[in-house]
Each structure stands twice: as C-alpha cells, then as structure tokens.
Structure 1
C-alpha cells in the first residue's frame, strides 16, 4: 500500500476528480428528444397507406401509416377530425400533414395529423366504392323506398349556390314550363362546409309544416354545376347521403354533368343529368297541357256528335216499321179494351151468383143446434169433473167459507164508523171523528151518531170529575150456524164429440 493512502490527523482529504458528462434522468432525456423532434420536424407532409384505425371513445383517432419498408404511428385529435378531407379507413392511401413528436411513456415517436387528403383520384374512388357498398347493403339504394315525383307541384325547393349559373337556369326553365312558386335555400356547393350546409337545408325544408307564412315544398332539387372529382366530393359525404335518404319530401339530385356521378344520385328519388334536366323532370309543360285539354275537348265533342248521329239513324230505321199515324198503332188495343169492358158486367153477375150458391150450400151444414150440442157436452164434462171432487175437499172448503164469514162479522163489529147498539160515535162540527178526550174543549159543539140517527150536543167543563159507567152487558153467545145441506152429486154423463 502506498504512503498516499494514509491520512494523518488534522489533514484535509483530497477532492475527487470532476466529471465533464453528468448523468441525466430518463424524463430529461425523453422530453429533450421530444423538443428536438418537434423543432426539427414541426411541419412534415407524408404519403402512405392507412392501417390499424382505432376510433377511441374520447373522439380521438389512432392509426398507423406505412409504406413497403416502414411504419409510423399517428394520432388525430378530436378537434381535427371534422376538418379532415377524407375519413381514415384501412387500406386508403392518403397524404397527411402534421408534426413529429414523441410519446415519452413508451419511448416511441408518432405523428400528430392535422389534415388528411386522398392520394389521387384513384384513392378517392376506391373509398367511394367501399362507402357505396356499405350503403347498398343497408338498403338505401332500393327502388322500393323511393318516392314518386308529384306531377303538378305547387312549390319547388331548390338547394344550390345563389350566385352561380345553375340557379338562373333552373328558374328560367321552370318559368317557361310551369310557373309556380320556387323557394331557394342558398348553400356553398364546394369545400369542407358544403356537405353540412346541404344537409341542414334538406332538414330545414323537411321541418316546414305548411301552417306558417312559408309553404311546404312538394319536391326538392339539389343542384350544382360540373367539376372534377375533388370539386364534387362534398356530395359523396356519408352524412349527406343518409340525410337525403331519410327526407320525407321527394328529392331530385342534379349534381354535375351527365357523366358525373355522386353518392346522393343513388339515394335520391330521381337523378337528373343536369340542373336544367332536373327542372324539366320536376315540372310539366303548361302549353302542352293546354293543348292536350283542347284536343280532349274536341275529341269529346266529336264523339258526342257521332253518338247522336248514330242514335238518330237507328231511330229513323225503327220509325220506318211504325204506321203513318199514331192512332193506327192504338186502334187495335182500343178495340180489345172495348170488347173486354162490354163483357165485364155479365161476368161479375155470374161470379156473384156462383159464390152465392156455394155460400148457401155451406150454410146448411152450420146451424144453432150444432153449437147447442157442443155447449151441452162441455157442461156435462164440467158437472162430471165437479162430482169427482172428494167429500173431504168439499168439507174443507165449507169450513174455510164459514171462517171467512166469521172474520167478516168481527171486522164489521170493530169498525168505528159503524155504531153498535148501546154505543155512539162523537164527531166534531166538521164531521171528523173524535178519538180522544184531550181533543174536546168546554163549550165545543159535537154530534152524537147512533145506529138509528144523530143528535147534537155541547161539551161542559166537568171533564176532571170521574164518571161512573154501568158495566157493559155481556154479549149473548153466538149461535152455531146451521149445517149446510150437502150438494147433490151430478150424475156422470157421457160426453160426445163435436165432430
């Protein structure tokens, strides 16, 4: 061991040698690389094919750009999604613009995409074909869901640019053919905002109920002049196509020239080759209608004249078979009527005599003796039926009759309005019966009603003194009723038959 390793008491230890490369933390290095990438590649433009598209619930889109040798992760933030020229789809070749940055948590770099456009017309058409296939599978192109165009529209809605030649051509063509009311909804027909404005115009027309000052259109025309695929690409928007398919008003699409085809041509109710052709499809020709009505009126008059001429000819042919004078036609019928009326009187006399003889013949069979015999037979049957009643039943009826008579006598004896011997009924001056002493007052005039008459009386004031009354005589016992003689039995008779 060398002497330098020894440190004596009171000496200061030597300082360690200084390092010119101090260590960095992982975070410092990661964010330094992030700043370097963003400074060096703050604006890049790349071309590649999209793969692994992931639309996150937050609204961000994560994807991968690749070519035949390398791949690069990319992200489209939520605020930039709506501004993209095309929507990301797997297999689509695009040109993207943005910046290169890193993701420190994974030590990887990625591209923040700010704009995206298809790499050429071929890529746009490929994307359009895939979208068409998806909408076709959903049934949006089916002819059964399309609405018929009205033949005589009163109000037509036009969705187009208000400054182009398209609107002037449409208005001029409509005014020449079928003058009607036209409502124009101005929109832009090219660019990123075109699809949204056209969709809003269709929904706005569809929301009109016709009760306000603005009438509801009978049909709509979506029109735009010709242009390149990129110029017409707004009318290939999926949202616009679904809005056209969901509209309740019939829609005619007139986008581009005859050779141009957009997605709304397949979902609209009719497709016009040009905006002018759309105006012709939407309206009839007023002059042709007037000419047609005039022709129909002339044909109707000619047909009526031919019908009258035919009926006149047939009537003249039938008239040839008639006699010269109408009296000759009725002469034979009059003669037959005269002969029949001359025989009517004698026929009535003969008919009356015949019915009289038949009545006399029938009258002999119906006499009074026939009815008397029938009554006698019914009486005999009634007597026989009475005789067959048993004696106990007759005795029971007799007892019930006696009991009923006794009850009637008792009821009659209890009737206060019928005085009994030794009793009198007291009535007031109005003839009302007095039933209580409290109802009488001193000096009141009353009437005493006896069985043989009535006498007047006046009440004195001695109502508080008791009055001795003689005991009422006991009624004599009622004598038993003599027994009734028995009823003679009717001899049974044999009942005959009326017929």
Structure 2
C-alpha cells in the first residue's frame, strides 16, 4: 500500500468530520480540566474529559474552547448557579465539532446548561443528608419536612458573650465579623477566642472539625461557636456540604452559629446547625440583636418593677392614710369619753371635798391633827379640836 501525505489524511478527516458534524450542535456531558481562561480577551481554552465513575479512569479526553461570541455563557452559568467555572466540574455542554488540519480536533462550547449542574449538586447534597438521617437518627431526623438536629435543640443562652470563632486567618470574613462586633452601638463586650484554620479547599472539612474538637475538649464554657467565611462560589463551600461536617455539627454540644455564605448558598452545615445566617456581618449582627433582646427584657422588667413598686407605695399610702384617720377618730372618741369620765369624777370629788362638806354644816373631830372616827379611845377631860368651815375650836370631853 502506497503511503499518503499527512495533509491528505488531515484533509480527509476534515471532510468526514465536517460532513458528520458540520453546522450541527451536540449536547455532551463532560468534566472540565486544564482551564486557561482569558477574560480580558474574551476566550477560554480547556480540556474536557470523561471518567469512569468508580475508578475515575479517563475514558476520553478532548480539547475545547469558548470564543468571544459565546464567552458570555461562562458569566451566565456562574450567575445562575453560584458555581465558579473551574476544573473538575461535570457540565452539560452544547458543542460544535470542528477539525483543522493544523490545530486538530476541537470542540467549540456554545452553551452551558446551569440546571444540570444545580441538579447534580442538589442530588449529591440530598444523598449526604439521607445518609446522615439513616446513620445517625439520634442526631438528625426529619420532622414535617424539616431537618431537626440535636444542636438545634440546645438551649440558647440568654446572653451570648463568650464565643469561639472558627474562620480563616486575616480573611474578609474574619475582619467583617470582628469589626461588626466591636462597633456595636450598644457598647456590648464580647470575649472571642479564635480558632483559625482553612475553611475551603482540600482538607478544609477535617481542619474545621479538628477545631471543633479542640473547642469541645478545652474546658471553656462557650456560649456559642461561630463559623464564618466570606462569599464565594458554590464549590468554595464544598467543605460545608460533607458527611463529616454534617455529623459533627448536628451532634455538637455547643450551639453553632454559621455565617458562611451569601444569599444563594444553603449548605448542609446551614441546615443542621443551631442558627444559620448568611454572612459574617449578619452573624455578628445576630449576636448583638440577641443580647439586645435580653437587655430590652431586663429594661421592661425594671419598668414593670418600678410600676409595681409605685402602685404598692400608693396603695400603702392610702392604707396608711385610712388607718391614720381611723386612729384619729378612735383616739378622739376615746379621749372624749375619758374627758367626760374625768369631768364626772371632778364633780364627785368636789362634792366629797371636806371643805365643801364642812360648808354644809358638818365638822371634823381631831386629836393632835388626826381625824377621829370612833368614840372608843376618847377619854373624859381630854381636849380635842373641832374643825368647822370657818375655823376650829378646842373642846373638853365631859362625858
């Protein structure tokens, strides 16, 4: 068989592929790899691979590109899914097939289907949740369509002041959280122990769970554990969607407050922790508002106590006035009765006054100034005195 030139073979392949795929688009499922993105130029080169699901063996690999006319599909995909266009994502792609004798076979990506990616992420997350419910029914269970966990049922302290903070060092989430706490308008003080660690990327879930174990065993009675990180793509939150994180958070013995994403992200950690808010700033605002509610209740109780005390004093004053008036009336009545008695006794005494008795014609018989009332001891020839109203005289007893 006579050899042919390479260009003849290439032109033949170009004709065959153009006949089979020219002016046609095909939906394919593939995983991204080796991405070279040039946003300023408006194009992107990448490799698409198809791997065996079990052993991750590569079954196929093809080069692909996104040209300027379709470059907007990357932004549309990221906006709709919250997932960064990055390597190792399985995507549903609308592609056209082309072959160049110089550049070889290449796929041009025309469109990315965001619903496929969202569905995959949701299926993976649901599978993790189903496994947690099955494996740990004492820590997590479904009730009226809602996931209930042991951590959610922990009593919330009236004041959350002693905090354990898990976050990345010098991150935006760390700065936002600490700034919001420090600048609270009520002047509340918080004691924050920092447990700094990576919160995204390979190994992040084990690093976070390791810090939770440190918090559990260090003997400090924390009011709450706060896990914060700034916003990012859905894949950046992968460490918060794992089986290990779900199990650790659901059964943790201290209330966990999660502020690990933005409005689009709801992770397994969000679903299973004691309280989920969307950002580090909102996590701090939640703690401030929680403590403010306690202060408000104290202020209301103080006002209620003031009102009760005022009412009690008014009632006591009214009772005192009433009893005072009653005492005044009783005393007046008693004294008036005593005054009448004294007046009657004074009249009696005046009647019994010896001078008044003498005035009525009576006389007193005295011996040496002592009144005699019996005749037994009176002797004949004894001199006695007779006291009359207007004076006294001496008499001699003759018989």
TM-score, normalising length from structure 2?
Answer: 0.49
Structure with more strand by fraction: 2
